[in-house]
Amino acid sequence: MLGLAILAISCSPPQAERISIWDASDESNVARIDHGPWQDLLDGYVSTDRSGVNVVEYAALAGNPADAATLAGYLEFLQAIDPRDYSRAEQMAYWINLYNALTVKVVLDAYPVDSIKEIHEGVVPLTGPWNDVHANVAGEDLTLDHIEHGILRPIWRDRRIHYAVNCAAYGCPHLIKTAFTADNTESLLERGARAYVNNPRGVDVVDDDFIVISSIYDWFAVDFGGTEEAVIEHLIDYSDSELAAFLEAFEGAIEYDYDWDLNEPQR
């Protein structure tokens, strides 16, 4: 019975709980953090498949020691920075890129795997790597959950963060092909939201009376207004005109689903 209880706890969606030590910035600092190495890797290993989903060529990256070293070096560079020395806008880009690059590294280190949920250091199977320590910034050990649910979600309070961080699952919003910067974050958040909502893994119209939407809108409903009606309003805001018109009139059944298969090519 205890094992079942642990499994149930581990499957609960993480709540946004601010880690207060990271809620500081220096708005007078106009310096920019160089994400060029990450951009080079995105250019080389992220492609769009025939379903319109951005996928990562993990096998090719694993087979290129120089580029794998570039990824490791970029992560070492980011971890040597104290983001609190930078402006809030620079920090947001920093944390998103750190999360995404760490996730690629976590998968790369365990590759080949069928799903990121297979990667974990604990005793409960298929819980994924999100609670394992994978970084140290300013002397603080960090997990992927710390970055997403302890820093990005509670400090910025922007629902579009869900379209920026990529968990290496096929059902996840894109690993966007452009590295985040202080200057492009707003446009990339908007682009990511529209790309996801208008793809079947965000909203899949089965028929006039039945739609399947991403489990993200169930797990993190609080970020999207807290009710199914509020979620639909959010989806309408980012839908293309035809989908928006359908959702505005929709009164049918909603089901939630999510594809945990690895976001790699040749599915």
Which pLDDT score is estimated for 232? 98
Which pLDDT score is estimated for 12? 61
Write down the pTM of the prediction: 0.94
Q: What is the mean pLDDT of residues 152-177?
A: 98
Closest CA to 133 of 124, 145, 125: 145
The alpha carbon of residue 203 and the mean position of all alpha carbons in its chain are separated, in whole angstroms, by 17
pLDDT confidence band for 267 (50 / 70 / 90): low
Tokens for 158, please give them: 């922007």
Give 48-55 contacts, CB < 8 A, sequence gap 24+: 49/265, 49/267, 51/199, 51/200, 52/195, 52/199, 53/170, 53/174, 53/199, 53/201, 53/263, 54/174, 54/175, 54/176, 54/177, 54/263, 55/170, 55/263, 55/264, 55/265, 55/267
Q: What is the mean pLDDT of residues 140-146?
A: 98
Using the predicted structure, report yes or no on whether residue 60 has a pLDDT greater than 90.
yes
Whole-number mean pLDDT of the chain? 94
Using the predicted structure, report yes or no on whether residue 212 has a pLDDT greater than 70.
yes
Q: Which helix (H) or strand (E) holds 236?
A: helix 228-238
Which pLDDT score is estimated for 10? 38
Which pLDDT score is estimated for 122? 77
Q: Which helix (H) or strand (E) holds 244?
A: helix 241-249
